Structure 1
Amino acid sequence: MYSIIVGFPKLQDAINIKNLLIRNGYDVSEPCTTGAQVISLANELDEGIVLCGYRFSDMHYSELNSYLPKGFEMLLILSPERLAYCQNNDIICLPMPVKTHDLMNTLQMMTYQYRMRKKKEKGRHKERTEEEKAIIQKAKLVLMHRNNMTEEEAHRYLQKSSMNSGTNMTETAEMVLRIYD
């Protein structure tokens, strides 16, 4: 699940940003006031956005970014003077004072990019291991021998059965092997 973590050194700033996000329909975790709290919370969650300030009492934003687990992006809110020092392409920055409209548009863009990235990853086929290929080949041979199918027909049968049952092709091949054993 995609989560938003708000972290600022001043608790009231974190609470204000959290409330603003909630009013605009975002699900936000508890506000954090140290980098360690942000990292601890991020490790419990799958992926998401860390919306934070430039410096915490225990670490700098760049340290925090390097400790974040894979799957988390950072949205940094900082003063216009410090904006010039933030040259990391992985971090999206907004200058203070942040306008609600700018913040919501940026978060919307980040969540849209996340959804597109997930959709693209889901569309990619994983390469099968040699063991999985062997199981599928064995199931095709059984189907070809027992049901007088061609290899193409056996492959199509496994594909169609896999899609109809909602399982991957290797699991379907294993079921075929169990049935015919």
Structure 2
Amino acid sequence: MSGIIVAFPKAQDGTAIKNLLVRNGYDVVSSCTTGAQAINLADNLGEGIIISGYRLPDMLYTGILENVEGRFEMLLVASKQRLLEDETGIAMLEMPIKVRDFLNSIEMMENNLFERTRKKKRKPGQRTKEEQAVINQAKEVLMDKNNMSENEAHRYIQKSAMDSGRTMVETAEMILAIMYKE
């Protein structure tokens, strides 16, 4: 679960939402009353969810959004009129809050964060020149000794790596070790 920041101009509104979330098992980092406090907390947290009212004493919710976009999911809680004016594309709930809708929105946002984090972890890192050279050398050996095309050799290394749970570089090193034994 990620951390949640609650930002409302009235401390009692923020505290009520914070208590609702805590009672339902969510990790609420803090409840604050200004946009600057929310941004500061967000910078310290790194990523998570911000639940905000439309207007805080020092800025509109869009000021927070501009500072945390890409790192945080944001839920705007406001009147129907304010929600109709919004063009940011963030999640929104109309006041008064319906508890089930609110909790479902938070769960959806948590899932979005989880998926985003999972996708970041799955992205392959850039290979160094040395690592790419090992893969190329293994492909050449497979092409020479097994009469494979370059594409077939690449796919063989890739599939072997996936099947064994190793990286392509580790698999290429293994292929080279086996082939040079012969």
Shorter-chain TM-score: which interval? 0.7 to 0.9
Structure 1 unmatched runs, 5+: none
Tell me which residue corresponds to 2:97: 98
Q: Say whether residues 1:30 and 2:12 are aligned partners.
A: no
Matched, 1:83 2:83: yes
Is the 1:79–1:95 Cα contact (8 Å) retained in structure 2? yes
Q: How does 1:8-47 map to 2 (within 5 A)?
A: 8-47=8-47
Residue type of the partner of 2:110? T
Contact 2:157 2:171 in 1 (8 A): no
Q: Percent identity?
A: 44
Distance change in 2, residues 1:149/1:107 (3 Å): same
Label 1:71 to 1:175 Cα distance change in 2 as closer, same or farther (>3 A).
farther
**Aligned CA distance change for structure 1 residues 157 and 65 (closer, same or farther; 3 Å):** closer
Return the letter of the residue paired with 1:135.
Answer: V
* Counterpart for residue 48 of structure 1: 48
Q: Evaluate the alpha carbon distance shift between residue 62 and residue 123 of structure 1 in structure 2; reply closer, same or farther with a 3 A threshold.
A: closer
Shift of 1:138: 2.7
Alpha-carbon spacing, 1:123–1:80, altered in 2? closer, same or farther (3 Å):
same
Distance 1:97 1:125, change over 3 A: closer
Q: Would the aligned equivalents of 1:136 and 1:169 in 2 still touch at CA under 8 Å?
A: yes
Corresponding residue for 1:66? 66
SS of residue paired to 2:55: coil
TM-score normalised according to structure 1 size? 0.73
- Corresponding residue number in structure 2 for 1:135: 134
TM-score (norm 2): 0.73
Segments of structure 2 that go 5 or more residues without pairing to the other structure are: none
Structure 1 residue 122 displacement after superposition: 5.9
**Which amino acid letter does the alignment assign opposite residue 138 of structure 1?**
Q
Residue identity opposite 2:93 in structure 1: L
Alpha carbons of structure 1 residues 125 and 50: separation in structure 2 relative to 1, 3 Å? closer
Equivalent position of 1:7 in the other structure = 7
Shift of 1:32: 1.7
CA RMSD of aligned residues (A): 3.5
